[in-house]
């Protein structure tokens, strides 16, 4: 524990991260690999909360673009996050880690309802706690759910795991000369409209002094390095 910088962290995984090489759904090898990434951190006694998106299955905005009622589509998106959360729970448990799923939409047969104090208790008891169903409200994203839950449970940092190794001043896929920031302020993320997290999530972190770390989850050992406080990817912090 001593070499760990953080004692309680919230890890945000996008739904798309679970697809692996597929174009839809879950590649079972990915949650297995994520379990192996998280295990050394968990074994070191760090309290790990997880929020996973649902974009590998359904996004409300895509439904709305196809003519569906937005709130209806968002409800479908939130249910997609529950499917992903259960998949992660299965892999975490198979890897020998205690894990609970708490859902913002009540469905007691498959997951506990989200109750903040109970969530903190689970974390204190060393259970990986997955927050499913986003915020429970349409018109939000799971990035905002991650920011909200990180604040509520008193996480020291929100770790956003992506497929890119940090925040760049332009899209590194289309701009080979794009520059990566080691550190950047919330204000700059918002004013430059850098697509790290949506503006609601970034503003919530800013208002509540929640640092955000952004890194590439495909790099083996990156989560452990991040929790040790090593410089991985980009950190979003207050301006001086």
Catalog residues that contact ligand UDP under the rule CB under 6 A.
14-16, 53-55, 59-61, 73-74, 77-78, 80-81, 134-135, 137-138, 140-143, 145
Of 185 and 200, which has the nearer Cβ to ligand UDP? 200
- Work out how close the CB of 194 gets to ligand UDP at its nearest, in angstroms, rounded to a whole number: 16
Of 105 and 224, which has the nearer Cβ to ligand UDP? 105
- Work out how close the CB of 130 gets to ligand UDP at its nearest, in angstroms, rounded to a whole number: 13
Of 43 and 171, which has the nearer Cβ to ligand UDP? 171
Of 31 and 77, which has the nearer Cβ to ligand UDP? 77
- Work out how close the CB of 223 gets to ligand UDP at its nearest, in angstroms, rounded to a whole number: 17
- Work out how close the CB of 13 gets to ligand UDP at its nearest, in angstroms, rounded to a whole number: 7
DSSP classification of residue 15: G
Helices (H), the chain: 29-43, 60-65, 70-94, 116-124, 142-153, 186-191, 199-207, 222-227
Task: Point out which residues pair with 216 in neighbouring strands.
Answer: 162
Alpha-carbon torsion, ordered 222, 227, 228, 234, to 10 deg? 60
CA-CA distance, 106 to 74, in Å (whole number)? 16
Of 55 and 166, which has the nearer Cβ to ligand UDP? 55
CA-CA distance, 207 to 93, in Å (whole number)? 35
Residue nearest to ligand UDP (CB): 53
Task: Point out which residues pair with 9 in neighbouring strands.
Answer: 48, 157
Of 40 and 199, which has the nearer Cβ to ligand UDP? 199
- Work out how close the CB of 18 gets to ligand UDP at its nearest, in angstroms, rounded to a whole number: 8
- Work out how close the CB of 229 gets to ligand UDP at its nearest, in angstroms, rounded to a whole number: 25
CB 167 within 8 A of CB 236: yes
Nearest to 26 by CA among 79, 73, 81: 81
Alpha carbon 234 to its chain's center = 15
CA-CA distance, 202 to 21, in Å (whole number)? 29
């Amino acid at each position: 524990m001593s070499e760990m910088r953080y004692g309680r962290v919230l890890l945000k995984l996008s739904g798309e991260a679970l697809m692996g090489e597929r174009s839809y759904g879950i590649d079972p090898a990915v949650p297995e690999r994520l379990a192996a990434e998280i295990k050394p951190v968990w074994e070191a006694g760090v309290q790990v909360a997880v929020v996973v998106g649902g974009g590998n299955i359904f996004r409300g905005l895509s439904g709305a673009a196809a003519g569906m009622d937005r709130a209806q589509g968002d409800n479908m998106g939130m249910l997609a996050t529950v499917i992903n959360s259960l998949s992660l729970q299965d892999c975490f448990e198979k890897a020998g880690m205690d894990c609970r799923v708490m859902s913002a939409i009540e469905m007691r047969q498959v997951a506990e309802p989200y109750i903040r104090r109970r969530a903190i208790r689970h974390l204190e008891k060393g259970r990986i706690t997955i927050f499913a169903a986003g915020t429970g409200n349409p018109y939000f994203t799971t990035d905002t759910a991650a920011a909200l839950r990180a604040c509520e449970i008193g996480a020291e940092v929100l770790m956003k795991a992506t497929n890119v190794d940090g925040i760049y001043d332009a899209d590194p896929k289309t701009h080979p000369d794009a520059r990566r920031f080691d550190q950047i302020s919330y204000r700059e993320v918002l004013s430059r409209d850098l697509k790290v997290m949506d503006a609601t999530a970034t503003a919530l972190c800013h208002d509540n002094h929640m640092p955000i770390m952004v890194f590439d989850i495909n790099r083996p050992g990156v989560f452990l390095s991040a929790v040790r406080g090593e410089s991985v990817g980009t950190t979003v912090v207050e301006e001086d």
